[in-house]
A and B are shown apart, each in its own frame.
Chain A
Amino acid sequence: MTAYIIRRLIIGVIILLLVTMVVFLFVRLMPGDPLLVYMASFDINRQTSISQENYENLLHIWGLDRPIPVQYVDWLGGLLQGDLGKSIKLQEDIGILIAERMPRTAYIGFITFVLGTIGGITAGIVCALRRGTWMDNLITTTANIGMTIPVFWFGILLMYLFAYKLGWLPTSGWTNPFDDFWMSCKQLLMPVGSVIIGSIAGMARLTRSCMLEVMRADYVRTAWAKGLSERVIVVRHQIKNAMIPVVTALGGALGMILGGSVFIETVFAIPGMGLLMTNAVFDQDYQIVQAGVLLFGGIIIFSNLVVDILWGWLDPRIRLA
């Protein structure tokens, strides 16, 4: 098992390096230029014109006049020393920016992930056990529709209903839960609600079909024939086996939630990583884009690793292979 984990860890690091390399190259080959964006904003404030000399000076200061491989190695070196670089547009240290914003995204993402997974799996199991009843039909239909709802649109719908029409919740914003827990909860209801619908729907559909698959298996029929109690059959034989594909889908679910953060943070004006990334893309802010890709990619690769380990624990065939 340890050898398996170590091997997976090494592959994970290689993939992460590959991701950063591809993005690094890609970001620099694209037509935009962060310095022009930066200088343009600078010029409006100071009323000076963009001179070639100024531009080349900046290019040199930011090290963007060097060959791309040199820049990459330089960035990687900084990374190993814990230096993520500095944002060109915001003129701030990216480590500090991320330390400030990531906890918000992680907090919302964590709540969504936990509630969405528990809710989705429960709904899926209930559907499978009560197959063909009105409850199954209701949940399945809702899940089929839930899969198609665009996160941003659902956020706007919730905002229209609960903030504008009913006035129950604040329209948008972010409050630190340690400062004002109630306010924070009220502000989080809608953002979490708009992402969670997709997670629950996906999880419920997957769990339901995996459960139905397992319920037809020979070993389940044997268990019934042996006269085991229904509880033991459902919990030990059906749910445990049905969870194997569901667990592998958890990594993807986390990715969907991280992707959804881009939208809910835009709709509800939450200053988190998603909004930081979106703005960085607009401003062609290379350094933030790279750091964000590293962070999100790292999270997904790490969670996939955890999933693989969980998988091995659930299914000894994998662990011993």
Chain B
Amino acid sequence: MSDNTETGTTPADATGAAGAPPKANEFKRVVRVFFGRTLYVIGFVIVVILILTAIFAPFIATHDPYETNLREKLEQPSSRHWLGTDSVGRDTYSRIIYGTQVSLLIGFSAVFASAVVGMLMGLAAAHFGGIVFALIMRFADALMALPGIILVLLIAGLGGGGIPVVIFALGFGGIAPQCRMMCGLALSVKQNDYVLAGRAMGMSNWRMMLTQIFPNAFPPLMVGITMGIGGVVLGEAGLSFLGIGVMPPVPSWGGMVNDGQRYLLHNPMLSLAPGVAIMLLVFGFNMMGDGIRDAVDPKLRGVI
């Protein structure tokens, strides 16, 4: 009866919306929604530009980011040094350009690491249930009980800083949210009939998790991953600002904000310009995340 009314009232839509199971259409729809709003497109463009900046840094930068020149220290912005120079005469603009590499490297690796570990944990918790579920989720609860930055601060600080330690710390800090999200999604995917069918076919646990549950839970997870990169970049900047993140002389935006703080009256650009770079990057990834969420599943609005 309901079937009849549906096809009866909207004959034109029947081919487009109601009877459209193929994957290709779904992909097109996602792309159309994502690129349909200016804000999401701006985010996407910012991310692309920043990635290109990181790749082509040697061509975009005007100076060597490590080259010190005490005769040109603390110069004001000029045609030679666009944003001035820091206390040892390094070109601020070039250091910001090269800082993109550091931020993106840490952002991508930490999120990738936490996604792999967190998702495997979440999958296992949802799939096996019982004691495995309790152990993994209580562990995640314990990690979530500390403010994110405090946990990361502890690990990075006690680990002694440096890029690998920062990646480890931020990756570790990201495990719990990824694990929780994966677990929640996997639990709902598990209700589907095709999972039951897979079980009836005698699929192994691993095969079931990786070929059935994971791909069907993946689209919403992409939102968490994209947003996570912004969060990690903010975290890295915070650690470097406190002096326990990326170690000098490697150019890091957070560290530059801290260095420039002492010369705020002399040349505020030293401290303020790297902050704008941080915001731009985080804004780009956040908007992309919002866009993917709206395109994949508008119901997730506000949940992730």
Q: Which residues of A contact B (CB under 8 A)?
A: 14-16, 18-19, 22-23, 26-27, 30-32, 144-145, 147-154, 156-157, 159-160, 164, 205-206, 209-210, 212-213, 245, 255-256, 258-260, 262-263, 266-267, 277-278, 281-282, 284, 289, 292-293, 296-297, 300-301
Residue in contact with B283 in the complex, picked from A22, A145, A157, CB distance below 8 Å: A145
- B273-287 interface with A by 8 A CB criterion: 275, 278-279, 282-283, 286-287
A-B contact pairs, 9 of them (CB 8 A): A26-B155, A150-B241, A150-B279, A152-B238, A157-B272, A262-B242, A266-B242, A282-B244, A297-B146
Complex Cα distance, B139 from A220, in Å, reads 40
- Cβ–Cβ contact A263 & B241, under 8 A: yes
CB pair B257–A297 under 8 Å, yes or no, is: no
Asked if B67 CB lies within 8 Å of chain A CBs, one says: no
Give B residues with C-beta under 8 Å from A: 39, 138-139, 141-143, 145-150, 153-155, 157-160, 230, 234, 237-238, 241-244, 254, 257-258, 261, 264-265, 268, 271-272, 275, 278-279, 282-283, 286-287, 301-303
CB <8 Å contact, B142 and A22: yes
Residue in B closest to A245 when the chains form the complex, CB atoms = B302
**Residues in B neighbouring A153, C-beta threshold 8 A:** 237, 257, 271-272, 275, 278-279
The 5 residue pairs across chains A and B that have the minimum distance between CB atoms = A281-B157, A153-B275, A259-B147, A30-B158, A259-B149
Do the beta carbons of A15 and B159 come within 8 Å of each other? no
* Interface residues of chain A: helix, strand, loop or mixed (majority): helix
> How many residue pairs at the A-B interface have CB separations less than 8 Å?
144
Interface of B is mostly: helix
Whether A149 contacts B238 by the Cβ 8 Å rule is no
Interface centre among A32, A213, A281 (most CB of B within 10 A): A281
Give Cα A26–Cα B156 distance, bound, in whole angstroms.
Answer: 12
Q: Given B159, B230, B275, B278, which contacts A157 in the complex, CB threshold below 8 Å?
A: B275
Whether the Cβ atoms of A277 and B145 lie closer than 8 Å is no
Q: How far is the CA of A320 from the CA of B2 in the complex (A)?
A: 34
Chain A positions within 8 Å of B149 at CB level: 259-260, 262
What is the bound-complex CA distance between A9 and B87, given in angstroms?
A: 53
17 further A-B contacts with Cβ under 8 Å, apart from A153-B257, A293-B146, are: A18-B138, A18-B139, A19-B146, A23-B154, A26-B154, A31-B158, A31-B159, A144-B39, A144-B287, A153-B237, A153-B272, A156-B257, A156-B271, A156-B275, A212-B301, A281-B157, A296-B146
Beta-carbon contact of B241 and A259 below 8 Å: no
A209 to B160, CA, bound (A): 41
- Using Cβ atoms and an 8 Å threshold, which residues of chain A touch B242? 262-263, 266, 278
**A149 and B279 in contact (CB under 8 A), knowing A26-B154, A259-B147, A266-B242?**
yes
CB distance from A60 to the nearest CB of B (A): 23
- Most chain-A CB neighbours within 10 Å: which of B145, B243, B265, B272? B145
CB distance from A90 to the nearest CB of B (A): 17
| Chain A residues closer than 8 Å to B282, beta-carbon distance | 147-148
Residues of A within 8 A of B258 (CB): 152
Q: Are A209's CB and B275's CB within 8 A?
A: no
Which residue in A150, A156, A157, A267 is a CB contact (below 8 Å) of B234?
A: A150
Closest Cβ of chain B: how far from A72's Cβ, in Å? 15
Q: By the criterion CB–CB under 8 Å, are B154 and A293 in contact?
A: yes
Q: Given known contacts A18-B142, A300-B145, is B160 in contact with A150 (CB within 8 Å)?
A: no
* A278 to B153 alpha-carbon distance, docked (Å): 8
Distance A281 CA – B165 CA, assembled complex (angstroms): 14
Identify A262's interface contact among B39, B150, B159, B272, CB under 8 A.
B150
Interchain CB contact under 8 A, B302 and A150: no
Does B158 contact A209, Cβ atoms closer than 8 Å? no
Residues of A within 8 A of B146 (CB): 19, 255, 293, 296-297, 300
B279 contacts A145, C-beta separation under 8 Å: yes
B301 touches A144 (CB 8 A): no
- CA–CA, A301 and B138, complex, Å: 13
In the complex, are the beta carbons of B147 and A296 less than 8 A apart? yes
- On chain A, the residues within 8 Å of B278 by CB distance are 148, 150, 153
A206 vs B153: C-alpha distance when bound (angstroms): 27
**CB contact between B286 and one of A148, A281, A301 (< 8 Å): that residue:** A148
CB distance from A155 to the nearest CB of B (A): 10
**CA A282 to CA B161, docked complex, whole Å:** 10
Q: How far is the CB of B292 from chain A (nearest CB, A)?
A: 15
